[in-house]
Every structure is written in structure tokens, then in C-alpha cells.
Amino acid sequence: MTARATPGTGTHSGGARPAAPLRVVILGAGFGGLEAARALARAPVEVTLLDRHNHHLFQPLLYQVATAALSPGDIAWPIRAIFRRQRNVRVLMAEATGIDRVAKVVHAAGGLALPYDVLVLATGATHSYFGHDEWAAVAPGLKTIEDATAIRRRLLLAFERAEVNTDSAERRRLLTFVVVGAGPTGVELAGAMVELARATIAGEFRGIDPRMARVVLIEAGPRVLPTFPEDLSAIALRSLERMGVQVLTGTRVTRCDAGGVQCGEERIAASTMVWAAGVVASPSGGWIEAKRDRAGRVRVEPDLSVPGQPEVFAVGDVASVTDPAGRPVPGNAPAAKQMGRYVGKAIAARALGRPAPPPFAYRHHGDLATIGRRSAVVALDGMRLTGLIGWWFWGVAHVWYLIGFRSRVVVSFEWLWSYLTFQRGARLITGDGTDAAGARAAADVEPVPANNAAPSRGQGWG
């Protein structure tokens, strides 16, 4: 068997065989993995892109699927279709189960074994419940289409159950919704829930008034949108409260069950809880025995390679990266895309025998969060946008990042229709119309203490 030649050293003279293409395995087809594969389009490499799903998901708009504003197909695209014309990419739908770093082989479900010369970890992150993983069943996070449709089902079923329930206390519980974590995902979810209840479905029920729904946003830190400038956090808080969201800052959840949440001495009886309070990196860093931070992210070199393993790179939520000033690079889509694009270029240079690019340097393009209809906060370099102008900027930016002309047109039309009519076109309760957590709730509900009767004032891997 002929040994694999070193990339970039092959020659056609003297009868010598050209160098074999570099085998590149990319785990995860999120923003980072997708950009890495795209950047290798013209490189002499063989790319295998592995993901446990067959689609790439635009996660920043996932909350709109959860609140019935968009359908899953509006923000997800088949991975094979994306790479249809890139002949050096092979797409495999399977879940990675481990990595043999000595033999340089990725193992996946079904006995699949993928040898590699270069490995890219783009396996993303999942929800962190800070040691209380049992809360996941009753307070799902928002990372996948399955998460979004499950939350949508619970949300819509709560109104349907309240319509046929005659007990006033149970109705109040059914119409109480809790979002834990006031980062961009939590803020956007809370605002969208209020709009659904007070605009979209108001007037459609006869036994209840959906406008009486209570949406509670809980944040352990001192302010909402903690990564944003303080002035924009204050604006976001005022907008949320003006919409009718009850915001509790400096408040930690100490218990979460099917009947609601406990925050210190206060019990909030609720039918629907959503977790947006934290994330933890996928376990792929442990498979290669890399050093990781407290969130499980792989500590990387300036070129995003793993220390002591130059053939392995980590990008996106699975990588712990700092900018030139020593600040952590945020775990958002633009950062993942920049990392993926950089690593793709670095691998291409290696395959061609060219000098490596300079160290990775993250460029922060700004922070954006929408609070509801006609309201958003945007922080750009030296510029702040709020209110309607910020909302339009947020919409244009998100449409721009969508993949494909069709998705941009469909999402733009859906938003325009919703803006003009207050309607949402994806209000489907899919499945068998049941919800295990909701069905158990009545048995788990605890009496609400009298002193708590009144309301307080007060974010797939391969």
C-alpha cells in the first residue's frame, strides 16, 4: 500500500505520484462547521462533514419557531443541498461517539469509522442546568427544532387547557409562563410570548382572556442582556415591562418541577418553563483529552488548534477563545462563522504547502436583540439603535444571514404579514396533542403561600 504523501509536496515529474488529498473530518454542521467546509471548496482535500441531523439550523431565529411566528422549514436547510455543488465534501448523517486520537479515527453510530489527517471539532453546546439536569424534562432549552416545537406545543396547549378548565387557580397556573435567563434568547422569547398572548390570539377564546397571561423572566444577575452596554440593558428592561413582562433580576431558581419554579422563598406556579440560562460545550473535547474550561470548552492555540495536537482544531461554542485584549469571544453565530472560515483557510494553506495565516482575530460586529414588535436594541461600534429603527436593523441583519433566496423571501413575507395583521402562521400543535410534563403538573403543584400570592415587583452536535 502506497504511503500517504505529505500535502503540498507532490510532483508530476519523474513518474512520481501526486500527493494524496488531505482527509479532513468536520464534526458538526452548525455555523462553524459549515463555514470551515465552504472555505475548503478549492483546496486539495477530501472533506467529510458529519452531523446527527440532516439539516443546518439558523439558531438565532429558533425562538420564533417556539412562539409560532415561523415554521421549522423557514430557518433550516438540508446539508446535502448546501454542498450539492461542492464536490470535495461528503455529508454523513450520524452521531459521533468517540475519537481515537492515536489512530486518528472518528467513531460514529452504526460502526462507522472515519480516518482523518485533520479534524475540526464544531460540535457546539447544549443546555447547562448547573448540576440540576433533572430540570430539563420540565424546562427545555432552545437549541434544536425539536426543542422549539416542543416548547410551541406546551405554550399553545396551555391556552387550550385553560379554555376548558373551570378552576380559577389552575387557570392562572396554566396561563403563567416562565423564562429562566435574560440573555438575548430569554429576552426575545419573553417578548414573543407576550405578543402571542396579547395580540395574536386575543379574542379567539371564549372561556378565557389570553391577554391575562403572565410571562415571568428570571435572571440571576443584576440586569437583563448582561453582555450589552448598561444603557441598552436599561432600555430593554423598560420595553419588556411596558409590554407586560414581569422581570425578576438578582433572582435564582432553586427548584423546577412540572408545577412551576421556586425562587428562594417564592413559588411561581406555571405550566410552561423555558431554560435560557446557560450552556455547556459538547463532550468532544474530552474524547481527545484536551484541556477545557469550566464550561467544557476546549482551550485552543492562537490558530484555533488544540495544544499538542496540531491536526485538531476547535471552533464555535466548543472552543474557548479570547480576543487580542484577552476578552472571551462570545458564543454567537458571527463568532462561529469567523472561526470556521479561519480554520478552513488554515487547513487549505496546510494542504497547499503554503504559510499558515496569522493568528485568529475576532471582529465584533455588534450585539442585537429584539424585544418585541417594533422594539429592539442594537450596539454597534460607536452607535446605538433602539426602538423601531433598531427593530428594522435587527430584521435586515437576520434576513441577510439566512441561507438561500427562498428563505429570505419567505421569512421577510412572514414578518411583514405578522407586522400588518398581528397574525402568526405556524400555530400548530403537532404530535398527539399531549404533553407529559403538563399532564403531570396537577399532581406536582404545591399550594402557593399566601404571602406570595401577589406578583413580585421586581440562551446538534455531530
Q: Known catalytic residues?
A: 188
Cell numbers placing 343: 480554520
Distance of CA 137 to the CA centre of its chain: 18
Look at the block and give the residue holding cell 484541556.
Answer: 291
Interstrand relation of 214-219 and 246-249 (parallel, antiparallel or unpaired):
parallel
CB atoms within 10 A of CB 227: 13
What is d(CA 234, CA 225) in angstroms, rounded to the nearest whole number?
Answer: 9
> Which residues contact residue 167 at a Cβ distance below 8 angstroms, ignoring those fewer than 6 apart?
none
What is d(CA 49, CA 33) in angstroms, rounded to the nearest whole number?
Answer: 8
Look at the block and give the residue holding cell 494542504.
Answer: 351
Residue 332 identity: N
> Which residues contact residue 396 at a Cβ distance below 8 angstroms, ignoring those fewer than 6 apart?
none
Looking at the DSSP bridge assignments, the partners of residue 108 are 96, 112
**Alpha-carbon dihedral angle through residues 133, 135, 138, 144, given to the nearest 10 degrees:** -40
